[in-house]
Amino acid sequence: MIKMLQLANTLINIPIMSLRTGGMVATADTPIINPNNLKLEGWYCHDQFSKKTLILLTRDVRDLVPQGLAVDDYNVLAEPEELVRLKDVLHLNFELIDKQVITDNKRKLGKVGDYASDTTSFMIQKLYVNQPVYKNLSDGQLIVDRSQIIEINDRQIIVRDVDEKIGSAIPAVLGLG
């Protein structure tokens, strides 16, 4: 796999293709994001056969091809209750889109409109922040790098204020980086 960034909307509602059968086995619908490290852990997906909601883990994705996500076979799809290690992340039901973004100085920047993740590690690298209309006319969309993120909680994402001088030591927060 070539390392490149992929926007969120290109990783939603896409076919899951089996390399063994050469056909579509499911559709990847909703991404599962771990807020502790901003990793795309997998997707909730609708399987073509049983019509159940299953989960495809990113570690089972062999490649991102024009037809969709390539996996070895249908059997990589798991039922949510089978994924014990992912139970806490699934319970959080974390949504990144529309999450409020503020600076550490309490300045409101806007809401997350999109994000880009690395197609090799599936780590979210960039947040695209939609600003309020009155700011959008002059400033456009903001791009926040993962290195600027200080904290993620249920209500908001706190980022380092771009107006501040960045020191030589950047503290590691939430295991990001």
**CB contact at 8 A, 152 and 31:** no
Query: Looking at the domain assignment, is residue 177 inside a domain?
Result: no
Q: How confident is the model at residue 48, as a pLDDT? A: 80
pLDDT digits (tens, 9 = 90+) for 113-131: 999 999 889 999 999 999 8
Q: Which pTM does this prediction carry? A: 0.80
Q: How confident is the model at residue 171, as a pLDDT? A: 43
* Structural domain boundaries enclosing 18: 8-92
Judgement on whether residues 88 and 16 belong to the same structural domain of the protein: yes
Judgement on whether residues 17 and 88 belong to the same structural domain of the protein: yes
For residue 111 the two structure tokens come to: 């809401």
Q: Which neighbouring-strand residues pair with 147?
A: none
Judgement on whether residues 105 and 86 belong to the same structural domain of the protein: no
Judgement on whether residues 86 and 35 belong to the same structural domain of the protein: yes
For residue 8 the two structure tokens come to: 């969120």
Query: Looking at the domain assignment, is residue 14 inside a domain?
Result: yes
Domain with residue 146: its CATH number is 2.30.30.240
Domain with residue 50: its CATH number is 3.90.50.10
Query: Looking at the domain assignment, is residue 13 inside a domain?
Result: yes
**CB contact at 8 A, 124 and 11:** no
pLDDT digits (tens, 9 = 90+) for 131-171: 876 655 556 688 999 999 999 988 899 999 866 444 434 44
Judgement on whether residues 49 and 108 belong to the same structural domain of the protein: no
Q: How confident is the model at residue 175, as a pLDDT? A: 43
Residue of 14, 41, 173, 160 whose CA lies nearest to 96:
41
Judgement on whether residues 129 and 65 belong to the same structural domain of the protein: no
Give the count of domains, the chain. Answer: 2
Residue whose token pair is 């409109």: 113
Cα separation, 124 vs 164, in Å, equals 24
Query: Looking at the domain assignment, is residue 133 inside a domain?
Result: yes
